[in-house]
Amino acid sequence: MLLLKRGLWPPRRGDAPHCRECDYNLTGLTSENCPECGQLLTANHIVTGQRRKRIGLIIVGTLCILPILLAAPRFLTKANWYRLKPTAWVIDDLQSTTQATARGAWFELDRRTKTTQLSPEHHNKLVTVCLEEQSRPERGTVNFVLSDCVDFLGDAHLRQRLSQEQTDTFFEQIIQTKLQVRHEIAPGEKVPYQLTAHGRNPGVPWWTRIDDRRILVDGMEVQGDVGSSTFSGTGGTISRSGSVACPGPGRHNLTTVATLYVYTGPNSDTPASTLRHQREIRRHADFTVLETEPDDYFKLVDNPQLAEQIHDCIDIRKLNASQSMAGHISVDMSIAPLPTNVAFDVIFRMDGRETAEGGFTRRQGEPLQNTFYHVQYNGVLPKTLDLILRSSEKRARETVDVFEIWNGELIFENIPFESDLNHDAE
């Protein structure tokens, strides 16, 4: 660069006067202004000597910088200019609806928090955005940014970098719960309910326990299904279903009472963990017990044309019997989104005998992945068996939201085994 500069702008030589602005030769000029550019020719605007460009230095200087000029485009395209973006703008990108943009913003923020300390203003803004992300409802898709944000909040709490208001919000949002009850109950039937919890807690070393303690109907405790569940990390889901005795006709309210415990430490090891938060969670839902069951309360759809469509959605992946589970047969089933609501009893048929072993209910468009059913057998294991899926109105009535199902039967015949046991001799 120095050679190129000396070649293009060499020192002035000689005594001839020149205009400083345009380098016009002023020799013999009597005017007070430059005839070329009009500049008033005071002593400060006149220089002496003439620049003579040095071609040799220009060529040598150009050859020296040519490799840099050729490499510049590659450098400019590979340079990570995002690192120069203001932190406030990067935090705004974290809220982008485009997952790639939000993910890239998080990687950059994570780099900055590890290499330099964020200013208090930027830290508070990032905490606010992370709390907003934590509060978003369950979307049913993998959201890596949500996990990163919640992990950041957990770490900030442990480092005592959350205000009391931010801490309260963090723990309030650490779990999302929803109570569903069948809104209309036929006389004499039990009242089905379902309590679903979506985890919004950080990953290791954080873990959460929920103890379902009481079920109330109209404020009075009743016999119901209670228990304890634990989970760790963002995105975990707990679903608990049950039913209670049906009260008399009319409008009623069902309440579930649970206690939430939030720990840090070895997962599910309460004595070795530190309790960070505890509170009671109450969820309410109304339902109506009918005086009489109307004709349109429940509908069985008699449409044989749906049988083939439903059959094609069901994949019997494996029928297995091994030494480790001698005396039992298991079937691994997967179901693609269905064209209609179904409720089935699962029935095994061997040697002409049918054995019912559980069942399932799925809503229209709802898939089911890797579900297992088991049945006992006596004697020698057959080479094949039949699997029957038979519509069950009873199962559908035990759900919180299914009032219509397809009516029919599907038979999967002569399903072969994947087994290490001996079969009947041919």
Strands (E), 98-190: 175-181, 184-185
The Cα 135–Cα 400 span in angstroms is: 26
Cα separation values, 55 from 1, 8, 15, 51, 60, Å: 14, 8, 23, 12, 9
Least confident of 303-317, 327-341, 365-379, 404-418: 365-379
Per-residue pLDDT, averaged over 17-27, amounts to 84
User: Of 31, 49, 78, which one is at a domain's C-terminal end?
Assistant: 78
Residues 284 and 308 in one domain: no
Question: Who has greater pLDDT, 54 or 278?
Answer: 278
Shared domain check, 88 and 74: no
Residue 425 located in a structural domain: no
Please state, as a whole number, how many other Cβ atoms lie within 10 Å of the Cβ of residue 299.
14
Report the C-alpha gap between 184 and 178 in whole angstroms: 18
Same domain? For 318 and 380 the reply is: yes
At 294 the pLDDT is 94
- Residues 230, 262: one domain? yes
Residue that terminates a domain, selected from 147, 172, 197: 172
Same domain, yes or no: 276 and 237: yes
Share of the chain above pLDDT 70, in %: 84
Question: Is residue 45 assigned to a domain?
Answer: yes
Is residue 295 a part of any domain in this protein? no
> Which among 78, 96, 125 is the end of a domain?
78
The answer on 210 and 111 residing in a single domain is: no
CATH number at residue 343: 2.60.40
Share the mean pLDDT of the chain. 84
Q: How confident is the model at residue 27 (pLDDT cuts 50, 70, 90)?
A: confident
What residues make up the domain containing 67?
A: 2-78
Q: How far apart are CA 362 and CA 356, in angstroms?
A: 18
- The answer to whether 32 and 71 have CB atoms below 8 angstroms apart is no
Assigned domain for 424 exists: no
129 within a domain of the structure (yes/no): yes
Residue 111 has pLDDT above 50, yes or no: yes
- The span from the CA of 76 to the CA of 285, in Å, is 60
Indicate whether 267 and 191 sit together in one domain: yes
Residue 132 has pLDDT above 80, yes or no: yes
Residue 168 sits in the same domain as residue 179: no
136 in any annotated domain: yes
With respect to residue 54, please indicate whether it lies within any of the assigned structural domains: yes
Same structural domain, 318 and 389 = yes
Digit-coded pLDDT (tens) for 210-229? 998 899 999 999 988 778 88
Answer yes or no: is 294 within a domain.
Answer: no
Give dist(CA 350, CA 331) in Å, integer: 14
Percent of the chain with pLDDT over 90: 46
**76 Cβ partners below 8 Å, 6+ apart?**
none
- pLDDT band for position 424 (cuts 50, 70, 90): very low
pLDDT tens for 71-97 read 656 655 566 678 889 999 999 998 888
- Pairwise CA distance, residues 101 & 94, whole Å: 7
8-state DSSP, 156 = H
Number of domains, the chain: 4
Chain segment 252-265, per-residue pLDDT in tens: 999 999 999 999 99
Q: Minimal CA–CA distance to 213: which of 258, 245, 244?
A: 258
The answer to whether the pTM exceeds 0.75 is: no
Here the CATH number for the domain that contains residue 273 is 2.60.40.10
Collapsing DSSP states into helix, strand and coil, what is residue 344? strand
